[in-house]
């Protein structure tokens, strides 16, 4: 199995980190790749464009008007030639064997299978912060769509850790444009709801950078708005496939409560009432988790990242 893999790098005003991202893509041990950089209307006086063009024919360069990361990813998908899609944020990096390990694993799977890997978090100076190793999954495990949905409710799947068949976008559409934060979550859930499986390799394939300029740290209102957009699409579907034994809606509601998405949790309560999916104890726990998510968790996260930055 030697499929062409398209590594798509959307970038907006990314001159600080774009070269590290491209260099990590070029350093992949898997050789059958193409690297597509989509400049999403950068307004940095041509700095980003100049750096990308300095790579010459090693990189395919696409320039477009600013439309957000989803529109940049979709443009890359429209123009990709590969059988598989891999997203690399302009401020992140791949470890050398990221693509090779995932292609090798998918070679033993059904064609309707996506793959994700372990992610390491780094700071502005590329120094280690933490690692999101999935201790409850064994290397090479393949989850069916229902198992993967249930798992994803309790664990974060970094978009850049994924390797996805191009057919998934042909079948399910692209990333939802207009969303700025959670577009990858909705995309993977859409694929899983269409019957795609999910494989896992415990190789640390992505170094994800945490820095102050990120949208995730600077505008939580946008995050909550995106979460509500997702809820409108998935809550009815999760309610439909949930049972008391494998209650995907409840697992989803708990995750939303942790992240203080109050309107989304309310939607889950309303959907659950129709099919009696939440027990009294589950309802009580949800209310308690929501209080934690709204009041205590934000303070803990601020202290955690402040200590990590100070340490390094």
Residue range 50-109, pLDDT digits in tens: 999 999 999 999 999 999 999 999 999 999 999 999 999 999 999 999 999 999 999 999
Confidence class for position 211, pLDDT limits 50, 70, 90:
low
Query: What's the distance, Cα to Cα, between the start and end of the chain in Å?
Result: 42
Residues 195 and 277 in one domain: no
Number of domains within the chain: 2
| 164 Cβ neighbours under 8 A, 6+ residues apart | 84, 85, 86, 114, 191
Q: Same structural domain for residues 49 and 80?
A: yes
Which long-range CB contacts under 8 A does 52-57 form with residues at least 24 apart?
52/11, 52/18, 52/22, 55/22, 55/26
Q: What is the C-alpha separation between 252 and 257, in angstroms, rounded?
A: 9
Two tokens, residue 259 = 């992240």
What pLDDT score does 215 carry? 47
Distance CA 158, CA 87 (A): 10
The pLDDT of residue 258 is above 60: yes
Residues 171 and 231 in one domain: no
- Would you place residue 45 in the very low, low, confident or very high pLDDT band (cuts 50, 70, 90)? very high
Residues comprising the chain, all counted: 312
Chosen domain end from 185, 215, 245: 215
Question: Do 40 and 129 reside in the same domain of the chain?
Answer: yes
Do 206 and 231 sit in the same domain of this protein?
no
CB neighbour burial string for 249-283, b if at least 16 within 10 angstroms, e if fewer: bbbbbbbbbbbbbeebbebbbebbeeeebbeeebe
Q: Is the pLDDT of residue 255 over 80?
A: yes
User: Do 181 and 107 lie in a common domain?
Assistant: yes
| Mean pLDDT confidence for 109-132 | 88
Cβ atoms 207, 95 nearer than 8 A: yes
Domain that holds residue 178: 5-215
pLDDT value of residue 281 = 96
Among candidate residues 146, 189, 9, 27, the one with its CA nearest the CA of residue 85: 9
Confidence of residue 312 (pLDDT cuts 50, 70, 90): very low
91 in the same domain as 209: yes
CATH of the domain at 187: 3.90.550.10
Same domain, 231 and 158: no
Last residue in a domain, options 166, 183, 215: 215
pLDDT at 182: 85
- Residue finishing a domain among 215, 242, 257: 215
Are 198 and 236 in the same domain? no
User: Are residue 72 and residue 189 in the same domain, yes or no?
Assistant: yes
Q: Two tokens at 290?
A: 């929501």
> Which residues have CB under 8 Å from 271's CB, separation 6+?
235, 236, 238, 239, 249, 277
Phi, psi of 132 (to 5 degrees): -95, 65
Q: Quote the pLDDT of residue 293.
A: 81
Q: What residues are paired with 201 via a beta bridge?
A: 117
Q: Which pLDDT score is estimated for 213?
A: 56
Across the chain, mean pLDDT equals 90
* Whether residues 261 and 236 fall in one domain: yes
Same domain, residue pair 120 and 211: yes
Cα distance between residue 241 and residue 228, in whole Å: 20
| Cβ contact 183:176 at 8 Å | yes
Q: Which of 71-80, 224-233, 288-297 has the lowest mean pLDDT?
A: 288-297
> Which range has the worst mean pLDDT, 123-137, 177-191, 197-211, 254-268?
123-137
- Asked whether the predicted pLDDT for residue 301 surpasses 80, the reply is no
* Among 35-49, 58-72, 131-145, the least confident range: 131-145
Q: Judge whether residue 157 has pLDDT over 90.
A: no
Rounded percentage of the chain residues whose pLDDT exceeds 70: 91
| pTM across the whole model | 0.89
Give every CB contact of residue 189 below 8 A, 6+ residues apart in sequence.
149, 152, 230, 234
Give exposure, 43-66, as e/b (b: 16+ Cβ within 10 Å).
Answer: eeeeebbebbeebeeebbebeeee
**Per-residue model confidence as pLDDT tens digits over 17-34:** 999 999 999 999 999 999
Give the pLDDT of residue 232.
Answer: 95
Residue 311 has pLDDT above 60, yes or no: no
CA distance 37 to 11: 7
């Amino acid at each position: 199995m030697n499929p062409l893999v398209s590594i798509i790098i959307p970038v907006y005003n990314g001159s600080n980190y774009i070269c590290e991202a491209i260099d990590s893509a070029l350093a992949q041990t898997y050789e059958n790749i193409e690297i597509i950089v989509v400049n999403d209307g950068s307004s940095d006086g041509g700095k980003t464009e100049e750096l990308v063009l300095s790579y010459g024919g090693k990189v395919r360069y696409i320039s477009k008007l600013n439309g957000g990361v989803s529109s940049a990813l979709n443009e890359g998908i429209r123009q990709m030639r590969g059988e598989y899609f891999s997203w690399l944020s302009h401020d992140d990096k791949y470890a050398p064997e990221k693509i090779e390990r995932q292609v090798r694993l998918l070679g033993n799977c059904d064609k309707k299978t996506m793959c994700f890997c372990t992610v390491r978090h780094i700071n502005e100076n590329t120094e280690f912060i933490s690692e999101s190793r999935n201790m409850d999954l064994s290397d090479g495990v393949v989850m069916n769509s229902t198992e993967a949905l249930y798992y994803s409710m309790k664990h974060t799947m970094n978009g850049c850790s994924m390797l996805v068949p191009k057919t998934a976008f042909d079948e399910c559409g692209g990333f939802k444009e207009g969303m700025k934060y959670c577009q990858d979550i909705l995309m993977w859930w859409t694929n899983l709801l269409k019957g795609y499986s999910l494989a896992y390799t415990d190789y640390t394939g992505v170094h994800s950078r945490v820095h102050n300029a990120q949208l995730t740290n600077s505008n939580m209102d946008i995050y909550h708005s995106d979460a509500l957009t997702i809820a409108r699409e998935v809550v009815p579907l999760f309610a439909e496939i949930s049972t008391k034994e494998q209650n995907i809606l409840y697992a989803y509601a708990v995750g939303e409560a942790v992240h203080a998405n109050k309107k989304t949790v309310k939607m889950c309560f309303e959907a659950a009432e129709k099919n009696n999916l939440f027990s009294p104890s589950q309802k009580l726990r949800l209310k308690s988790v929501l209080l934690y998510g709204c009041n205590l968790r934000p303070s803990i996260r601020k202290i955690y990242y402040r200590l990590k930055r100070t340490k390094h």
